[in-house]
Amino acid sequence: MAKLKDKHVVIGLGKTGLSCVRFLKRLGCDVAVIDTRSEPPGREELEQAYSDVKLYCGELDQFDLSKARELVVSPGIAIQTPAIAKAVAAGVPCSGDVELFAKSVAAPVIAVTGSNGKSTVVSIIGKALEALGYNVCVAGNIGLPVLDALSSAIDVDVWVLELSSFQLETTYSLRAKVAVNLNVTEDHMDRYGSLDEYAMAKQRIFEGCEAAVYWLEDHRSKPIQGARTQLPFGGDAATHGRFYVNTETQPWAVMDGTRQVLSAEELHIRGGHNLLNVAACLTVLAEFTAGHYEKALPAIKQFSGLPHRCQWVADIDGVTWFNDSKGTNVGSTVAALNGLEGGVKGRLFLIAGGEGKGADFAPLADAAQGRVSEVVVYGRDAQLIHNSLSRVVPVQQVETMQQAVSLIRGKAVAGDVVLFSPACASFDQFRNYEDRGYQFVAAVKGDR
C-alpha cells in the first residue's frame, strides 16, 4: 500500500503499541498503525490523541510493508510472520519498543529474563536499590511499557527491566550493565519450534552486556557467547555460585559463600523457588554495587510478593486459598507446588486450565504425583491437562474457573489448601492473567 511508504509502521496496537506511537510522534515521525484485530484495544485512545495516525485493521498479508521506513513490532506478533519477514528481506528495519528504548537511554540497565520469576526478581531488585539510595525505574514486561517509562521518569540512576523472549526478538542495541537469565522451561511452544529455539531468543539478553547472571543448574540459561563477567547463582553445597540456597539447614537459608545471609523464616515470600530468586537478586546487587548489598537486606526481607503470584487470598473455614494466576506455564505451576511443600497440613487441591500454548503437561503430572490430592481443570485445554494428570491424581473437569472454585469449596475441609495456578494463558476466558486472578479472588470471597 502506497499509504505506508516512508512511514514508521507500528504493528499491533494495545498498551505497547500505543507507547510506541507516543514515542515516535514525540520524535516527529510519520506514523501508521496496523492491527489484525477489527477492534484492537487502544483504538479509541489512539483516535482521540493522534487523529493524524491512520489505523489499518486486517491480516498482515494484505499489506505491502516493503516500502515502510521502519517496522515497530509489538511483542505479541512474531517477526517470522511472512509479511514482516518479506519487508525485512527487502531491507526495512524491524525493531520493538525495547530497541527504541535502548537507543535512547544513557543510565545503566539491569535486564532480567527467564521463563519464571522475572517479575518477582525485578521487583526485589528495584526495592533493594531504592533502599541503597538509587533512583530506580522498574519497567518492561512487568506492566509499565519502557517507552512510557522513558518519557515520564526523571533523573533515573538505574533502569531495571523485565524482558520477555518476544521483546528480545526485536532488540539489538541493549547493552545491559547486568543481564540475567533466571531459567528456561517450556513456554510459548505455539510460537517457537522447539525449546532450544525459545532458549536462543532469551540468549539475546546477554549480547553486549558487562556481566551475565545465570542459574548454575540450568544449562540453557548460561550465556553461550562469552560475557566479560559470568556470575552463576544457585547450586548445592558442593558446587554453587557465590549466592545459593542451603537446603541442609532448617529452615533453609540463602548463603553468601559460607556465610548465611538470611533464612526462609525472615522472608515474607514463601518457597524454595523464592529463596533461589533472592539468591539471583543478591548476585545482581553484589555486582552492581561492588559488594555493598547488606543495607538492602531489610528491604528484601520486607518484600511481600506480587499480586497473582502465589498470593494468599483467604482462610475460610480453615481452608487456605492461594492465587497464582500469573502461573501461565507449566514451569510456573511446578514452582508454585514446590513452594507450598511443607506448608500443607491437610490435602492440596489444584485448579488449572486455559490456553496451554502447545505445552507438554507431563512435568506438571510429575510435580503433582504424591503431592496434590485432587485437580480440577477448566477452559479450552482442560482435556489435555486431564489426559496428562489423570494417570497420577484424581482429576475433575468443569467449564469455568468459577465452577472449579464451587466444586472444591464443597470438598475442602479445615487444614486443606487450594492453589489456583493455571499453567496456561488466560485468553480463552479472561482479558489477561490479572483479570483472571481478580475473578478468582472474587469467586473465593463471594457467596459461599
- Give bridge partners of residue 245 from the DSSP assignment: 254
Instruction: Give the catalytic positions in this structure.
Output: 118, 141, 188
Q: How many CB atoms neighbour CB 210 within 10 A? A: 15
Residues 6+ apart with CB under 8 A from 46: 13, 18, 21, 33, 53, 55
Between 118-131 and 272-288, two packed helices, what is the crossing angle to 10 degrees?
50
**Element of type H or E holding 374:** strand 374-378
CB 308 within 8 A of CB 328: no
**Residue closest to 139 by CA, chosen among 105, 111, 173, 99:** 111
Integer Cα distance of 60 and 417 in angstroms: 47
Q: What are phi and psi of 236, to 5 degrees?
A: -125, -175
Residue labelled with grid coordinates 495516525: 53
H/E/C letters for each residue in 189-257?
CCCCCCHHHHHHHHHHHHCCCCEEEEECCCHHHCCCCCCCEEEEECECCCCECCEEEECCCCCCEEEEC
